[in-house]
Structure 1
């Protein structure tokens, strides 16, 4: 049996109430809490997209429900596609992980060749009436590949430097393609998740610290030597220095947070959504939620996100306990990814971190993000289901004996 690493033992000692982390020995064959959380976040997202997008939709398309209708379609597509992936056993994810990685690279190359350019960024593939943001499936596919790699090369990761750096080379290829779009936000999310998974897999602390230092230095260099990124950094540090220029979006977002106070102005009563705050229904939907529902509204969304992330991490712990290493690392990767992307999205709208253009999982408007995040939740449900079946089978065998 493989020895557990100290970082894994931290999660092993963590205990939460039964309603958050129900025992896998229960007769129920999957954890309904994932569905409840996802549906609640869908509903909150639909309400906020409707509230925040109507003014701009009326202006651009002469139809206030334009984005609402599309968001409902995205949710429907997400459920249908996720239902298909729910039937896919986890050993198939592991078996096809290499193919998923190649698909991720192919999508990122294709978007650079024939993708649509919006506001100086080439991130979208146009497939008839549908646009696909290539970076979204690339994240999920890369984390699937990384989980598979950590199973195949775990001893090498723990004992040899080359085992630690090999996945970073793959990450470097993806990062290069993403930076050419450019999409630094996705690179940062993938980097943090990669380092987190390598650390949980047992990589030595000095390797973790060294790569973290190099990665942070590279991100700083990319910001300093790229004019538009440097403007974002400086405007984030002091948006009020140029409130009608580089700091405009953030100052409008901060006004939304300020107006929301504790209980908010009430649904539909946001002023910032009246074409003052750009991207109000996408990257900055949480600012409108804060304005209309205040601190209470933001706290509810954060609570739901926290429960989903905690369940993913605890599921990873349970899988590793049962020596289901691929499932465990995949669940850990999804948990780290969701937590960091949530933190960056809310942090950017609240002026805590620079704007990165990352969506709020399961809430923001955006088909690609909605579909991929739903698939990620379905993967967690599938892992939980297989662990429960394993427990039921073990119980039946014990009873027969």
Structure 2
């Protein structure tokens, strides 16, 4: 009710206009995944929470707090005009580099320095930085669109920024976040209309660099080796252990699952069952049908974001459109990589499943991103209403 009054007072819209101003199917898909995430975190975390904290509900209570905070951030982003985000895009870039630099001096956890302690929770710097860099990229494409489409310099300049971020991410190290960020950024440049040959050339170079980074780091190479032969005697109880246990979880789930709460693999057989590999637990308890439902909702959200971006771009709202593209690509890439790792289709990466996995940083940043996405579509619909009132034509969806 408060949000409705705020939006109505800001734009002087009536009740009918307000109800048509938010993308209800998108909002419904987001909330459905959040509820599924809460249920699965609750199911997958009780044993580990009891073991670590002697409180079976410790992790789910924290996740509920993160969900409440995430909803607050989503509403905050929804009532924030996109022009304000555009105006401070340079600050977003500065803050992203600052976070990626500061995190290198924090305490090492599991061989990586990825978290900045903030007292109430640990912020994963790469999660916030990815969204901030996408905001800057959208502003850059808005300002330099002709140069990006016609000159190599327009294509090359953002690569300098991405290269700096890549170096900082590799120092953590966090190759998974680097892959997600590069995929989203390159996707934005492609959708902005960059020359295809330049785009293909840069993508090939990036793939070669990623392959080199995997080859020169023994632990990354071990992950690829275990991915190719996870069931071999050498890998089954070593670097391929998580993959084999996740595949067992999928096999046990069959079509309809073993039932909510009845997972065997979450009983300390599958490491990171409530975080990186929660999709495997979901498939075990809810079966192939439940896994396909989550996949369908994930694809719908990613597709809807791209559709919102296309519609905004067609209205001449270039920053809105490019930012929507970036948000959709960030979310879709990370979610599909997580699913690919859980199913054994991709080498192991330490990436959370957005809206599903336990963790404050991923949930908070994802909610903020979706708030921005809903705001982008809201302003596009508002412009469409104004144009319809002026021209007397048919209004788009």
SS in structure 1 of the partner of residue 122 of structure 2: strand
> 1:125 touches 1:133 (CA, 8 Å); kept in 2?
yes
1:214 maps to 2:202: no
| Deviation (angstroms), 1:350 | 0.6
The match for 1:374 is 367
Alignment of 1:51-130 (within 5 A): 51-113=43-105, 115-130=106-121
Cα deviation code 1:327-379 (max 9, x no counterpart): 01111111111111111000001110011111111111110000111111111
| Deviation (angstroms), 1:310 | 1.2
> 2:26 touches 2:301 (CA, 8 Å); kept in 1?
yes
The match for 1:11 is none
The match for 2:36 is 44
SS in structure 2 of the partner of residue 170 of structure 1: helix
Gaps of 5+ in 1: 1-24
Please point out which of 134, 151, 157 is paired with 2:148: 157
SS in structure 1 of the partner of residue 32 of structure 2: helix
| Deviation (angstroms), 1:395 | 2.6
1:384 maps to 2:344: no
Alignment of 1:215-364 (within 5 A): 215-241=206-232, 242-364=235-357
> 2:76 touches 2:371 (CA, 8 Å); kept in 1?
no
| Deviation (angstroms), 1:398 | 3.5
Cα deviation code 1:376-399 (max 9, x no counterpart): 111111011101111222233335
Cα deviation code 1:37-56 (max 9, x no counterpart): 11111110001001111111
| Deviation (angstroms), 1:249 | 1.0
How many residues get paired? Answer: 375
Q: Quick one: distance in 1 between partners of 2:107 and 2:123? A: 10
> 1:26 touches 1:388 (CA, 8 Å); kept in 2?
no
Q: Which moved more, 1:225-234 or 1:239-248?
A: 239-248
Q: Quick one: distance in 2 between partners of 1:399 and 1:187? A: 48
TM-score normalised to the size of structure 2?
A: 0.92
TM-score normalised to the size of structure 1?
A: 0.91
| Deviation (angstroms), 1:27 | 6.5
| Deviation (angstroms), 1:206 | 1.1
Q: Which moved more, 1:373-382 or 1:279-288?
A: 373-382
- Cα RMSD between the aligned structures? 1.4
* Structure-2 change in CA distance of 1:276 and 1:166 (3 Å): same
Q: Quick one: distance in 2 between partners of 1:203 and 1:81? A: 33
Please point out which of 134, 143, 152 is paired with 2:134: 143
SS in structure 2 of the partner of residue 132 of structure 1: strand
> 1:151 touches 1:325 (CA, 8 Å); kept in 2?
yes
Q: Quick one: distance in 1 between partners of 2:219 and 2:272? A: 18
| Deviation (angstroms), 1:93 | 1.0
SS in structure 1 of the partner of residue 320 of structure 2: helix
> 1:86 touches 1:379 (CA, 8 Å); kept in 2?
yes
1:183 maps to 2:161: no
